[in-house]
Amino acid sequence: MKKFISLVLAVMMLVSCVCISAAAADEAQVLHFDTNESGWTEFTTVYCHIWEYGGDGFFPWQSKKEKCVDEDGDGIWTYDLGAKGIELEAGKLYVCIFSSNNGTQIHNLLFDSTVLGDTAYGADYEYENPEDSSKKAQAGFWKGQDETVFGPELVITSIGNVVGTCIPNITTAQAMFETFLADAAKLDNVRLFSMKSDQAILDDIATAMGLTVADIETAIANTEAVVEWNAEDSTIGQVKPEKGDVDLDGVVTIMDVTAIQMCLAKLSELDGAALDQADVNGDGYITILDGTEIQLALAEIEEL
């Protein structure tokens, strides 16, 4: 009888260990998102969209297989990769976006298999959505990671702005810049919607990415991109005029508002540094709102 009881206890302990191991394995295959710290409200569903860096998503955007769960209602939503059939390969870089059914989402967030089990959250500031400049994406971070390694992906947006802070650890700023230059369709889109010259587009992007005049020259040579850019005319390394100084006279006045209004009325044109200074609110477009921003600053109601 004693031997039988001992055998039963041994089996129970073995089963218990197996259950604990299984639970640990499950936890090692999940990602969490803290909607409380992110300030998310008025939503019912959270999704997790994942893709290998440079590749396609595992599942369609906000599909059933991307749904997260919050079983205890504490605001920490969980995405179980194992249950969805996703197996991350060690050493490979991935990107995820947590989003909600009400349109809220975080910016592209870099991670790899070592991040599994960690919790992401949205910060209190936003970036331009990389694919649709009319929308915004909340900056996102991991609670337990070095944000310079696994943080908001640095991206050149559809209208040529640089958003995010983290250059993927499997590439370089130079390689990313050359990929942009090699994409003729994207470059044409930036020309169309930013209203900037090629000189300003390349100088501004290179400056934001920490590149030099020599880096631009190398990129143009490597990609054979057809652009109107000259090293002698580059503004890289120069001190930019104050935002809103559209006429570039060294001071922001009502004349800068007039310059914007004349441009919008097609009575004059802005290019180069003047065009950059006219985009006061930084949305990538020159509109009457930029003139309003200057007027509010002149009235000391807001700061530029």
pLDDT per residue as tens digits for the range 149-165: 999 999 999 999 999 99
- At residue 229 the predicted structure's pLDDT band, cuts being 50, 70 and 90, is very high
Q: Record the pTM.
A: 0.71
C-alpha pair distances (Å), 232 with each of 56, 114, 164, 236: 40, 46, 29, 10
DSSP-derived secondary structure letter, 131: S
Please give the backbone phi and psi of residue 137, each rounded to the nearest 5 degrees, phi first.
-130, 130
Instruction: Give CA–CA dist 225/184, Å, rounded.
Output: 8
The continuous run of DSSP H or E covering 129 comes out as: none
Across 138-148, average pLDDT: 95
What is the chain's mean pLDDT, rounded? Answer: 88
C-alpha pair distances (Å), 184 with each of 84, 135, 226: 37, 23, 9
Residue range 39-81, pLDDT digits in tens: 999 999 999 999 999 999 999 999 999 999 999 999 999 999 9
pLDDT of residue 110: 98
User: Which is more confidently placed, 249 or 258?
Assistant: 258
Residues 6+ apart with CB under 8 A from 168: 53, 93, 110, 153, 154
- Give yes or no for residue 1 having a pLDDT over 70: no
pLDDT of residue 284: 83
Give me 248's structure tokens.
């570039």
Instruction: Give CA–CA dist 89/172, Å, rounded.
Output: 22
User: Which is more confidently placed, 39 or 133?
Assistant: 39
pLDDT of residue 27: 61
Matching residue, tokens 């100084």: 245
Residue 244 in contact with residue 297, Cβ under 8 Å? yes
Residue range 170-182, pLDDT digits in tens: 999 999 999 999 9
Across 234-248, average pLDDT: 82
- Give yes or no for residue 296 having a pLDDT over 50: yes
- Give yes or no for residue 3 having a pLDDT over 60: no
Q: Which parts of 155-267 are beta strand (E)?
A: 155-156, 162-163
Give the three-class secondary structure for 93: coil
**Nearest-CA neighbor of 65 among 53, 77, 47, 87?**
47
For the range 87-91, what are the long-range contacts, defined as Cβ-Cβ under 8 Å and sequence gap of 24 or more? 88/112, 88/113, 88/116, 89/113
Please give the backbone phi and psi of residue 203, each rounded to the nearest 5 degrees, phi first.
-65, -45
Across 103-131, average pLDDT: 95
Residue 145 in contact with residue 115, Cβ under 8 Å? yes
pLDDT of residue 16: 45
Lowest-confidence pick of 23-32, 77-86, 286-295: 23-32
Pairing of strands 119-128, 30-34: parallel
Give the three-class secondary structure for 42: coil
β-strand partners of 97: 49
Across 114-132, average pLDDT: 94
Give the three-class secondary structure for 188: helix
Give the three-class secondary structure for 104: coil
Instruction: Give CA–CA dist 277/293, Å, rounded.
Output: 12
- At residue 26 the predicted structure's pLDDT band, cuts being 50, 70 and 90, is low
Lowest-confidence pick of 11-20, 147-156, 227-236: 11-20
- At residue 240 the predicted structure's pLDDT band, cuts being 50, 70 and 90, is low
Tell me the residue length of the chain.
Answer: 304
Gyration radius from the chain CA atoms: 25
